[in-house]
Structure 1
Amino acid sequence: MNISKAAKAAGISAKMIRYYEEIALLPKAVRSAAGYREYFPADIERLKFIYQARQLGFSLDEIKILIQLWQNEQRHSADVKALAQQHVQQLQEKISQMQHMVDYLQDLIASCAGDESAHCSILDKIQHPDHHG
């Protein structure tokens, strides 16, 4: 199938397919006699795998490792589990950082008069984060 049909079947854009080929997440497509990329069921399955891994927040480098493990029938599930556990830890750290941002912004919002005056404590704190007052 051509790139547009492959993109539709995999649920991603043709631009992303070309990018995944460029960074070697997906092997370069076979070309037809007319020079068009041709994709096969195994390519679509791989694209769907990549898409799902991206939805779970794995980085492109992590996805390369996941693909290698997925395609290696001699793999150890412990290796996959370790990668997933590491990813969960990274996600938890990001959640913690984001919760800190939310808490800080809520404090800023609470300190803002939110009236007609030009003075804005939110802007002041963004400009001078260590300034108290």
Structure 2
Amino acid sequence: MNIGEVSDKSGLPPKTIRYYEDIGLVKPLRGPNGYRSFRESDMHKLAFLGRSRALGFTIEDCRNLLALWDDQDRASADVRAIAREHLEQIESKIADLNSIRATLSHLVRECAGDHRPDCPILKKLGNFSK
């Protein structure tokens, strides 16, 4: 398959596929003319990477997950550990976002939003103390 075909099948743009090749996540064959020739296994890896990235895994996590996917003697505990760590990071980000939302919601409620210059939002943003 050429890059256009594998792009269509994997759902990844050609630019992303080239990047994944550049960083060694996939290694398509090269024809005498220098064009990439993707095998079915490359397409599966690219689809795997697309799904992994859509779940927010880092490139390094994807590299480790791909290595585990290729390793028939892998321990599922190793895969679970990567996924659990990523889940903990997501939960931390959600907690941070909830805190931000609560603070901003409070400030928006407190601001009259009228013609007067007094604005609790600007006052809070300009306050150096926590």
C-alpha RMSD of matched pairs (Å)? 1.6
Match of 2:97 in 1: 98
Match of 1:125 in 2: 124
- TM-score, reference length from structure 1: 0.88
Query: Is residue 20 of structure 1 aligned with residue 20 of structure 2?
Result: yes
Counterpart AA for 1:106: S
Runs (4 or more) in structure 1 with deviation over 4 Å come to: none
- TM-score, reference length from structure 2: 0.90
Q: Comparing 85-94 with 31-40, which one deviates more in the overlay?
A: 31-40
Deviation at 1:69?
Answer: 0.6
Match of 1:66 in 2: 65
In 1, Cα distance between equivalents of 2:117 and 2:14 = 48
- C-alpha spacing 1:117/1:34, structure 2 compared with 1 (3 Å): farther
Counterpart AA for 1:39: F
Match of 1:30 in 2: 29
In 1, Cα distance between equivalents of 2:118 and 2:29 = 62
How many residues matched? 130
In 2, Cα distance between equivalents of 1:70 and 1:91 = 23
In 1, Cα distance between equivalents of 2:118 and 2:20 = 49
Percent identical among aligned pairs is 36
In 2, Cα distance between equivalents of 1:11 and 1:129 = 47
